[in-house]
Amino acid sequence: MAVKDYIRQRFFPHMWCQGCGHGIVLNSLLRAVEELGMSKNEIVMVSGIGCSSRISGYVDFHSLHTLHGRALAFATGVKMSKPELNVIVPMGDGDALAIGGNHFIHAARRNIAMTAIVMNNRIYGMTGGQYSPLSGFGKLATTAPFGNIDHDFDIAKLAIAAGASFVARTTTYHVQQATKIIKQAVMHEGFSVVEILSQCPTYYGRKNKLGDAAEMMEWFKNNTTPIGSKAKEENPGLIERGIFIQEDRPEYCDEYDKIVEKAQGGRV
Amino acid sequence: MSEQIKFVQGNEACVEAALYAGLDFFAGYPITPSTEIAEHMALRLPQAGGRFIQMEDEIASICALVGASLTGKKVMTATSGPGFSLMQEGLGYAIMAEIPCVIVNVMRGGPSTGLPTCPGQGDVYQARWGVHGDHAIIALTASNHQDVFSITVDAFNMAETYRTPVILLFDEVVGHMRERLDIPEQGELPVVKRLRTSVRAGIDYHPYLPREDGRLPMSDFGSQHRYNVTGLAHDMWGFPSQNPQIVHGLLRHLTDKIKNNVGTIARYKEYFMEDARTVLISYGSSARSALHVVRNMRARGERLGLLELQTLWPFPYGIVEEKCVNARHIVVVEMNMGQITRAVKRAVKNPERVVLANRIDGVFITPTDIKNILRLIQGKGV
């Protein structure tokens, strides 16, 4: 199926700014779905609020555009009631880790089979450039005019510590890696987290003098390295890309099926 | 009548009724005095083949309900005052996206964490107006376990009929008191199934285009129709819209589908109302004390009646007006500062005759409390 057949043209033009990385993420995602040969009817896309969350409307799947930060909670209800569905949750960094931080760690802890794609552009884009928990110390934002004194999370480390059984990171510069990783994440039988560094030239880039979209993507190229590479040993400041963890662990819905079996067998 | 007789808490009666109504999915977070609902659900729901999940908080619980309901399941959560406050955003979402679900609020004293193990009926207005924005809501209540059972089944039926969240406002006394419950046979009480679309695959399905009767046929997530669900104002396809006409139509539809059915949604009971000169109006556990007073004073020849409300919202203004038309005094008995009293005053012709008999100290209102008020208004002193 052509990638455009996965798009709801009724919803276009999209609302992303010129140079935004989110369109690249959408492209990688659709290519992943296409390469997996999935039917549109078996995918439910659940999103929260923010620029990234509009992805759920742009795609021709069952789509649920929810409340800020709560996408994973809505998705948990979908998955628990119809485990045969593939649930994909595109999220922004603020959506996933500020207001949605609690749901994020608990979805990871349960190891419920769904894929959280965290599109990390390090800023609140939709509301006009306020700092997010991923902005980073010393960065500028409309709500940090004197410099941000909040420290940022390492999404991958947080997800691993919380119990996610698949955790990966890539960037919008590395589109082919992104497609490959999303494929593996969607196929994974457990909670999978894919962090994709995405550029916001309009707010994060402009405010912090990082240049245009192309320059920001070049920064992704020059400042990231495959996990465990030699470059990382020499330059510990580099951000690692790749799959950090991929483990088989009891999946939540499978385990609940066993509970139903036990309950119906009269064993309490 | 069934042979299944139980001696249970109100909270358990609610669980049994939900299962009777065909509950498939429960998500909740423990909070006194509603906790037994979650506990019994965890035991009973998987036995019936359903799924129970204890979420990380009340916000997550109501969000999970929405997701599960969209896959075609009957869903429920249970909480108490502070948890109900947390649920308001998700409740608004369910109203906007027209998601059938049942939310039980076993009320305690408030505000804030208030009086966790004490009775109160302070959430009447939270149920009505906790959600931001104009909207309609259905809130039901009951005073004894048999009624808890039937009103819970009603709640599911209304949720599925009108595609809306329905709130069950019980209180601590009803939730924790133990009494007899006869569980009806299947078929004895009506159980409504969700209206599903007959539009075939490949044909443009409009998930948010109401039929003439105001009902919206649904399609389950995972089946042949793919559509968008959002909390934003939306058009008939579920796509976000800021077109004034579309927004106006949507908000009217959300309100009218309930407003136009006040008569069918209204549930109430009346005792000795035919010739009552003094009418007590009450609901939930405080109606039990009120009924005691009425029976007691009727025996002494006093013309006292009780109107027990089971539908609090939409408020049955017409019914209250009609039933109180000959009343010299109207005494509203409730465990708050007069939340239903306010609505009763709006309903009747002579609001100055409406008096409140209440307790707000976390202590169950007794027949003596009510009698003292009656003596005062009937000019006999305390």
> Which percentage of chain B shows pLDDT scores above 70?
99
Q: Answer yes or no: do B164 and B298 share one domain.
A: no
Residue B98 shares a structural domain with residue B193:
yes
What is d(CA B143, CA B174) in angstroms, rounded to the nearest whole number?
Answer: 6
B250 and B337: one domain?
Answer: no
What is the CA angle B114-B118-B123, rounded to 5? 60
Q: What is the pLDDT of residue B121?
A: 98
Q: What is the predicted pLDDT for the residue at B156?
A: 98
**Selected residue of B63, B220, B232 to mutate for chain A interface (largest A Cβ count, 10 A):** B63
Q: Determine the Cα–Cα distance for residues B283 and B299; give it in Å rounded to an integer.
A: 22
**B290 and B150, same structural domain?**
no
pLDDT of B381 over the 80 cut: no
CATH number of the domain to which B85 belongs: 3.40.50.970
Averaged pLDDT score across all residues of chain B: 96
Task: Answer yes or no: do B129 and B1 share one domain.
Answer: yes
> What's the pLDDT at A10?
86
Encode chain A (268 residues) as per-residue pLDDT tens digits.
Answer: 788 899 999 889 999 999 999 999 999 999 999 999 999 999 999 999 999 999 999 999 999 999 999 999 999 999 999 999 999 999 999 999 999 999 999 999 999 999 999 999 999 999 999 999 999 999 999 999 999 999 999 999 999 999 999 999 999 999 999 999 999 999 999 999 999 999 999 999 999 999 999 999 999 999 999 999 999 999 999 999 999 999 999 999 999 999 999 999 965 5
DSSP letter (8 states) at residue A16 = P
Task: Report the pLDDT value the prediction gives residue B12, as an integer from 0 to 100.
Answer: 98
Range of the domain at A110: 3-264
Read off the tokens for B372. Answer: 């003292």
Element (H, E) at B246: helix B244-259
Per the DSSP assignment, residues forming a β-bridge with B171 are B107
Residues B114 and B208 in one domain: yes
Domain end position, chosen among B247, B265, B283:
B265
pLDDT value at position A4?
86
Q: What is the largest CA-CA distance in chain B?
A: 75
As a whole number, mean pLDDT of residues B108-133 equals: 96
CATH code of the domain covering residue A22:
3.40.50.970
Instruction: Find chain A residues with C-beta within 8 A of B208's C-beta.
Output: none
Burial class (CB in 10 A: 0-12, 13-18, 19+), B368: exposed
Does B2 score more than 70 pLDDT? no
Please choose, from the candidates A28, A26, A64, the residue with its C-alpha nearest in 3D space to the C-alpha of residue A43: A64
Do residues B193 and B240 share a domain?
A: yes
| A268 and B CB contact within 8 Å | yes
pLDDT bin (cut points 50, 70, 90) of residue B345 is: very high
Q: What is the pLDDT of residues B207-221, one digit of tens each?
A: 999 998 889 999 999
Q: What is the pLDDT of residue A208?
A: 97
Same domain, B180 and B240: yes
Q: Are residues B208 and B223 in the same domain?
A: yes
Which tokens in the block code for residue A222?
A: 């020059």
User: In the prediction, which pLDDT does A268 show?
Assistant: 53
Provide CB contacts within 8 A for B218, sequence distance 6+: B72, B163, B194, B195, B196, B197, B207
Give kind and range of the element (H or E) at residue B282: strand B278-282
Conformation bin of residue A67: beta by default, left when phi > 0, alpha when psi is -120 to 50: beta
State whether B232 and B283 are in the same domain.
no
Question: Could you report the per-residue pLDDT of B245-272, keeping only the tens digit for each?
Answer: 999 999 999 999 999 999 999 999 999 9
Distance from CA of A69 to the nearest CA of B (A): 10
B125 to each of A162, B76, B340, how far by Cα in Å?
Answer: 39, 21, 9
Cβ contacts of A85 on chain B, cutoff 8 Å:
71, 221-222
Report pLDDT digits (tens) over B318-344. Answer: 999 999 999 999 999 999 999 999 999
CA A213 to mean position of chain CA atoms: 20
Single pTM value for the model: 0.97
ipTM confidence score: 0.96
Q: Which residues constitute the domain of residue B144?
A: 1-265
Strand order in the sheet with B138-140: B51-54, B25-28, B75-79, B101-107, B165-171, B138-140, B311-313
Q: A40 to chain B: nearest residue by CA?
A: B226
* A257/chain B closest Cα distance in angstroms: 9
Cis peptide before A13 (omega within 30 of 0): yes
Same domain membership, residue B291 and residue B181: no
Query: Which residue in chain B has the smallest CA separation from A55?
Result: B228
Q: Give chain B's domain count.
A: 2
How close B287 comes to chain A (CA, Å)?
Answer: 37
Domain boundary, last residue among B234, B265, B296: B265
- Strands B138-140, B311-313: pairing kind: antiparallel
Q: B235 and B355: one domain? A: no
Which residue from B55, B75, B237 is facing A73, i.e. has the nearest CB? B55
Q: How confident is the model over B14-43, as a mean pLDDT?
A: 98
Q: Write down which residue in B265, B287, B308 finishes a domain.
A: B265
A81 touches chain B (CB under 8 A): yes
Strands B329-334 and B278-282: parallel
The count of domains in chain A is 1
